[in-house]
Structure formats: C-alpha cells, structure tokens
Structure 1
Amino acid sequence: MTRPLENVTILDLSRVLACPFATMILAELGATVIKVEQPGTGDETRGFEPRVEGEGGSESAYYMAFNRSKQSITVNLRSAEGQDLIRKLSAQADVVLENFPVGTLQRYGLDYARLSQDNPALVYVSCTGFGMTGPYAPRKGYDTVFQAMGGIMSLTGERGGGPVKPGLPVADLTSGLWVAIAILSSLMGRQATGKGCHVDFSMLDGQVGLLSLAAARFFALGEVPPRLGTEHPGRVPSAAFRCRDDKWVQVTGSDQHWKPLCDLLGLHEWAEDPTLVRNIDRVNRREEVMAGLSAAVARLDRDEFCRLCDEAKVPAGPILSVDEVLSNEHVLARGMVREFAHPQLGSFKALPVPFKFDGFDDPSLGRPPLLGEHTDQVLGDRLGLGKEDIQALRERKVI
C-alpha cells in the first residue's frame, strides 16, 4: 500500500504557522514538500520559543510542531538567480503555496501569472491576511487580529465579561485546514480539466466562514449573540459545570437526555415535569435550570459524575488539561501521541495527523528538516546541477 498523496509535489514558499501546518499535513499523507527557507536564518519560527535542548544542539518546538516530514532548501528569493531556481522548481511542481504580502512575489516574477506560463497545470495558492482584493488587501495582521475581526473573539468569554481569545491560535490553525482543503480540491479539479488554478485565500475570510451557527442565528433572528461562557445559545443544558472536587465537566444533552440526566442527579421532579421536556422550554427558563443543575452537579466528584453519565448514556466529558489529554488512555490507545527521532535532539514526542486508513497506509510521522538539509539533493536531482554549480551558487549567496 501507499499513502494517498505520494505522487504530489508541493513547493512551499510559506512560513510561520498556517501554511506550514497545511503542508505538514499533506507531507505526512505522502506529498513531497520542498520547503524554501531564507539562507542563514530560515523560517523565522526556527528562532521561536520554546526551545528544546539536545546533545547535538537546540531546536524550536514551535518550528517542529508544523514542519515535520518536509525537505528544506535555502534560496535567496531577492536574488535573480534564486528567483530563477524557484521558477525551474515550480515548473516541475504540482502545487506552489505562498503567504507573502500582496504583490511581493509579483515583483520577484514568482506570481501565478509568471509561473503558470511554464506550468499550466500548476495549482498556486496565495494565503494572505485579507486577500488579494478589497479595501483591506494591503493590511497586515496576525492570528489574534483575524480572531478579533472575524467575530470569534466577540463570542468567546464569560457572560457579561469582555472578549477572550481561545487558548490556541484558532485563526492560524483553521486557516491551515482551509488551505489544505483548497489544495486537495484544486488537485481534484485539475484531474478533470488538466488545468491548474490560482486560489486567493484570505485568513479573515476563513474566520468569517467559521461563524456558521452565529451567522445563521443572525440571518434568522437578527440576533447578535452575547458571550455565554461555555453555554450554548440555543440548547440547555450545554455548559461546563464545577464538581465537588473542583474539577469541571462539560454536559451537552438533547431532549432524550433530559430525564436520565435529572434522574442521575436526583432531580426527579424535573425529570417528570412536562414543562421542561422540550429544549425550547428549558432555554426560556435558562437561569432557573442552570442554577438547579449546577447545584446538583456540585454534590458529585467529576469522575463519579462522568461514570453516571456514561451509564445513563448522557453526553458528558471531563474538561481535561493538556497533561491529562496527553496521558489519557483513549488518546494513547488511538496512537495520538507518537515520537520521531531527531539527529540533534534524539527522541521527541509529537501529535500525528489524525487519520486511520483502510486501503492506504496511515499518515507517517517524520522529523522536521535541518535548515537547508536537502538543498544539494533537490538542486542536483531535480535541476541536474553538479556539485561545482551548487558550490558556486552558495559562494554567491544565492542558496
């Protein structure tokens, strides 16, 4: 068997998080990803904290989290010779991915219009903060800016409190998933037409696209959803509850779960109350219902309450901290914590791409490359350059 993307070659001109996350996923699904980095320094995340110290040196855990299973070459994109190398490599590639500010690669002669002349089947994806068009196109931004402007931060936080960002870089991570979808769908389209395309993806667009239920409520009701903490705007119960041992559990139930939940909590009158059977009735009495449930859950320890919910088939789960997640028996049984061997650090743990295939090999878990580790190999094998040619490029600071 093989992995599903083993015949795909991606020239990755991107850096930092969103796009490297996308290409790491595709690399571990079998694609050959050639990551182009700045000579001497590389992707700026190579210098980000936290650092991992090993016998052979120090590496950035940030960089390693998003760049496994890739090849690394160093090319000076400001150099005319470097730009020519990229044009030659792109002529052999299936995909080029870039996240430079709008107009930068056009100045270098590395935009879609130029590269597609030599490779009409090329899939070229541009990931920018605000897109290639529109009044905000020249603006710069980071993950939290897109969270703020895309609406998710306005929805996140405790009732009556201020906006809160999620604990992970949601805009970056979801943009990486959007980019992976764009690449895969474009490759499928190319199979049908034989032609490549240019994808203009805006990280702000990606966040707006995630508004989903909040947008549907606004379109249907004209409602601007308030911050509700862990509560759901249209379902009761759906919230986090503090248990007797000061641990927390998330309960989310539908109408069929209401009676068994009340029974296991000893709320037998509510279990038989016809005015609480329907979700809409519980939503209308949200304050009363949430207060009663909170008081009842607070009489039980978290693990005991979760056991009772499992027995009654009420959807509930403990709110686990990162260390609890990464040592959880089910997470480990599913193979979601693995290791790779690194030449400088030895063994290091990582989270694999979360697919299990029957019909293909499962995604690999490779190590991230050292800076420029594959420059000679790629230029030699793909462009036919000899050792003397490559050394001359290095002396002229092209690579």
Structure 2
Amino acid sequence: MATLPLEGIRVVDFTQALSGPYCTLLLADFGADVIKVERAGSGDDSRQWGPPFVGDTAAYFLSVNRNKRSVALDLKTEHDRQIAVQLVESADVVVENWRPGTADRLGLGPDAMRTLNPRLVYCSISGFGNQSQRPGYDQVVQGTSGWMSVTGTRDGTPTKSGIPIADIASGMFAAHSILASLVRRHRTSEGAYIDIAMQDALVSMLTYQAGSYFATGQPPQRNGNQHATLAPYGTFDTADGQVNISVGNDRQWEQLCHVIAVPELAYDARFKTNSDRVTNSVELRAELESRLTLEKTRNLLDAFHSAGVPAGAIRDLGEVLTDPDLAARGIILNSTHPRLGELKSPGSPWHIDGESSTARFAPPDLGQHTDEVLEELNLLNLHARKGVESHLERDRV
C-alpha cells in the first residue's frame, strides 16, 4: 500500500500487558508511529509472561508489539518525566492503561497533557473506568461483567472465554474510539479524552443475552455449544468427531434435512419453525445425531457446503495457523528480529484497496529506539545526554 491510513500520526504508548498494547498494535498496523514507553530496566511486564519464550522474550509480548518503537524511561525521575512530556507534546494520540490516578500523579494525566497539546487525543483503558481504583485483569472482568455466567455448559461451572476477550475487546473499542476522535479532530481541530473500561466493553457485547434479560427479567442460562434462540445451531457429534451447524432460517433447515436424507423431518410439527425447534431442542438433537453419527465429518461438510447449509469443522490452532487459505489472505505476518530470528504473528484483518496489514518491523527490544527518538526530539545534546546516559547504557541492546 502506497500510503497507510495512519501514516503521519504519532502515538505515545504508555501501556503494557494486553488491552493497551492490542489497541496500539491496531494503530501501528494502520501505519501510525507508535512509540512504546517502557520502564527502564524491566520494560513491559508481559516481556516475562512465559513460557513459552523466544530466546529471552515471552511469546506473549512478541504477539502484540510489532510495528512499534521502544523508548526506555524511568518516569520516577523528573528528567525522564520531562522527556515523556515532550514526547506527548509531539504526539497526536496518547494511550495509557495505568491504574486510574497514576497518570495524574506522574504529571502525565489527560488534563495537563491536553492543556499542553489541545489537539491531543488521550485514551485511558482500565478495568472499571477512570473513577474506580479497582485493578482490572481479564479473568476478573470476565466474571464481574457477567460474561462467564453465560459461557460453559448448562450443568457445568461458569467458564471464561478461551481468549482474553476483555483485554482484546477493550483494546479494539479503544482503537476505534481513537479513530473516530481523529476524524472529529480533522473537522474541528479539537482533541478528546477517551475513557474505556474493560467491564463496559464486555457488557456492550452481551447484545442478545442482555436483550433476553430486559425482555423477561430472567438472567440467561449457559447453553454450552448450543444457541439460546436458534436451532439447530451448535455442535453435533458425527461418526468421527464433531461439526458445527448454524441454521438461520427455515429454508436452510429444509436443506439440512434433505442432506441427511430425512426430508420429512422438515415438516414434523415439532420442528417446522425455528420457535418450534428451540422449544423442542432436546428431541431435535436426538433426531439429528441419530443421522449425523452415521457419517464422517468431511463427507458431511462437503454435502452441507454443496447444499448451502452453514456448517464447519472444529479445528485446533495448528490446523488454523497452517491453513493455506488463511495464508493466501495474508493474515499470517512474518518479521525478522535482529536477535530472535524469524517471527510470525496474526495480522490485522483489514483489506483496503486490495492491500492488508504488514509487519514493517519486528517487536522491539527494550529501549531499542531510545536514542533514535530522542534525536528526533532534538534531545540528544550534551545537556540532555548527561541526564539520560546511565539508563541508556543499561537498556541498550
């Protein structure tokens, strides 16, 4: 792509772990210059969140920090805080996910920074919003948001999502709020303050489960791999495994019945409409699996696809991440790290004018770009050098 959408936009990134780094990863993939400010000496906590490690760096960190530059600062010192302030003064966007109040105590809070830089888009990500001191971690928020209460089997225990959905969702909502604010700034020249709570992000994604509660006054139950309001819509046993079937209308239901050679089932009074099928879902499952378990998964999927019945295999990540069709979409990115060698990661899912995201450069070593960024800020003179020389030496790779 000749010009990435966010080329020329500078993001100062005070985040660590996942919610904030995922937000800034999305911005970096769009072409923003993301300057990741890390603690001198130790860096982002997730650098040590392993195993597994690639060399001495956790795979966790490497997965969400490509296309960024790392600057190591000790924000407990006045000298380095002033460097951070000058970074913010040069920025279009700031993202932080410290506990609420920390940014203000460091002199880097939204009021002070937006006074210094009125066009600044400043985004805070926290567990429960900027008025709460409660620490927010994905596991905790999946529970407090109600997400776990609707995840898992009906007779089992509440279960967290297999991915850190509170972190990922809040990072995504933060990124699109930043983009919307930049569009508004283009019209008005006004910056913005964005307050993203991980719990809010998950509550906003409850959609039809919340709609069910508002309609009935009853909290929805867990449904395992089945759907509360559609049938057949879920996971079903086959002769050699399982298959996902997602019937969304009566025409697809009729096609399914023809594929499994029981066309009369489509007109059975128990199953004629979606409402009937949901009401009689136990009997429906028994009828379907008595036929599905006679056939192998691959044969069923081929027949379903030919008939236009929505269905799919249940694959592990080894199968997914080596899928040639996925590779053809350009979603698996490759980069070369100077110490760690070849790295792979899933890219951002967009395609714009036929082009997709790229790994322009590998996830940075701690402090790898400190000198480079200070030089851009015209701070690599003798006076500034005297104050930062010691920690630059310590953090240089």
Residues 1:393 and 2:394 aligned together: no
Identify the residue that residue 27 of structure 1 maps to in structure 2. Answer: 28
Q: Give distance in 2, aligned partners of 1:112 and 1:259.
A: 58
Identify the residue that residue 128 of structure 2 maps to in structure 1. Answer: 130
Identify the residue that residue 263 of structure 1 maps to in structure 2. Answer: 258
- Give me the identity figure in percent: 36
Q: Give distance in 1, aligned partners of 2:302 and 2:261.
A: 15
Identify the residue that residue 157 of structure 1 maps to in structure 2. Answer: 152
Q: Identify unmatched segments of 5+ residues in structure 2.
A: none
Identify the residue that residue 357 of structure 1 maps to in structure 2. Answer: 352
Pairs within 5 Å for 1:71-220: 71-133=69-131, 137-220=132-215
1:144 alignment partner, SS class = helix
Amino acid at match of 2:110: Y
Superposed displacement of residue 296, structure 1: 1.5
Is the CA contact (8 Å cut-off) linking 1:71 and 1:373 kept in structure 2? yes
TM-score where L is the length of structure 1: 0.94
Is the CA contact (8 Å cut-off) linking 1:218 and 1:224 kept in structure 2? yes
Q: Give distance in 2, aligned partners of 1:173 and 1:167.
A: 12
Choose from 231, 243, 247 the match for 1:249. 243
- Per-residue CA deviation, residues 1-52 of structure 1 (Å, 9 max, x unaligned), is 2000002100000100011011011111100000000011110111111343
Superposed displacement of residue 275, structure 1: 5.1
Is the CA contact (8 Å cut-off) linking 2:125 and 2:198 kept in structure 1? yes
Aligned CA distance change for structure 1 residues 396 and 227 (closer, same or farther; 3 Å): closer
Q: Give distance in 2, aligned partners of 1:307 and 1:391.
A: 69
Aligned CA distance change for structure 1 residues 287 and 275 (closer, same or farther; 3 Å): closer
1:350 alignment partner, SS class = strand
Choose from 294, 303, 325 the match for 2:298. 303
Is the CA contact (8 Å cut-off) linking 1:326 and 1:337 kept in structure 2? yes
Is the CA contact (8 Å cut-off) linking 1:52 and 1:345 kept in structure 2? no
Is the CA contact (8 Å cut-off) linking 1:17 and 1:172 kept in structure 2? yes
Is the CA contact (8 Å cut-off) linking 1:29 and 1:364 kept in structure 2? no
Superposed displacement of residue 257, structure 1: 0.6
Q: Give distance in 1, aligned partners of 2:213 and 2:384.
A: 61
Superposed displacement of residue 184, structure 1: 0.6
Q: Give distance in 1, aligned partners of 2:299 and 2:317.
A: 21
Superposed displacement of residue 385, structure 1: 2.5
Superposed displacement of residue 188, structure 1: 1.0
Pairs within 5 Å for 1:289-300: 289-300=284-295
Q: Give distance in 2, aligned partners of 1:95 and 1:339.
A: 27
The ranges of structure 1 where at least 4 consecutive aligned residues each deviate by more than 4 angstroms after the TM superposition are 396-399
Is the CA contact (8 Å cut-off) linking 1:58 and 1:344 kept in structure 2? no
Is the CA contact (8 Å cut-off) linking 2:126 and 2:136 kept in structure 1? no
Q: Give distance in 1, aligned partners of 2:284 and 2:339.
A: 56
1:141 alignment partner, SS class = coil
309-318 vs 222-231, greater mean Cα deviation: 222-231
Amino acid at match of 1:30: G
Amino acid at match of 2:245: V
Choose from 56, 59, 66 the match for 2:57. 59
Amino acid at match of 1:34: I
Superposed displacement of residue 387, structure 1: 6.0
Q: What is the root-mean-square deviation in Å for CA atoms of aligned residues?
A: 1.7
Is the CA contact (8 Å cut-off) linking 1:68 and 1:368 kept in structure 2? yes
12-21 vs 272-281, greater mean Cα deviation: 272-281
Amino acid at match of 2:189: G
Superposed displacement of residue 147, structure 1: 0.5
- Per-residue CA deviation, residues 323-353 of structure 1 (Å, 9 max, x unaligned), is 1111223212212223111111211221111
Q: Give distance in 1, aligned partners of 2:327 and 2:287.
A: 36
Choose from 209, 224, 227 the match for 1:229. 224
Residues 1:4 and 2:8 aligned together: no
Residues 1:322 and 2:317 aligned together: yes
1:214 alignment partner, SS class = helix
Q: Identify unmatched segments of 5+ residues in structure 1.
A: none
Q: Give distance in 2, aligned partners of 1:328 and 1:222.
A: 44
* Equivalences, count: 391
29-38 vs 171-180, greater mean Cα deviation: 171-180
Amino acid at match of 2:45: E
